[in-house]
Amino acid sequence: METSNTHNQRIANMIFASVYPMYVAKVEKKGRTKEELHQVIEWLTGFDDKKLQELIQEKVTFETFFERASLNPNAGLITGVICGYRVEEIENPLTQKARYLDKLVDELAKGRKMEKILRT
């Protein structure tokens, strides 16, 4: 699916630290934990808690966040619609990675089992 250059640039320039509290609030509101969120983020990116906190403190953009990530080889198994886009059809690699993360957070908040979220 084609996304606009403006849309892709907006995602690239967003500060991860500004979105992270929204991820935490979303999952906690639905009865999930920050630790589970971190497990999901680590599965997708390879960032442990310490590295995640460093990136938050550094106020990196999503572009830098995903440049430094080691994307899980099974990330391509993440499918479905998030924010009106089918993630497997997003052509811009950075936008797709950001939407992978959004989709995983959404699945966590919806109560999906961790084994399914982590594609094991």
What is the mean pLDDT of the segment spanning 20-43? Answer: 98
For residue 102, give its domain range. Answer: 5-114
For the entire predicted model, the pTM comes to: 0.93
Question: What's the CATH code of the domain at 25?
Answer: 1.10.8.290
Residue 107 lies in a domain: yes
* pLDDT above 90: residue 3: no
Q: What are the distances in angstroms from CA 35 to CA 20, 32, 41, 65, 112?
A: 13, 8, 10, 19, 15
- Per-residue pLDDT tens for 49-88? 999 999 999 999 999 999 999 999 999 999 999 988 899 9
Reported as a pLDDT band with limits 50, 70 and 90, residue 36 is very high
Residue that wins the pLDDT comparison between 19 and 85: 19
Total structural domains within the chain: 1
Residue 105 lies in a domain: yes
Q: How does the average pLDDT of the chain come out, rounded?
A: 95
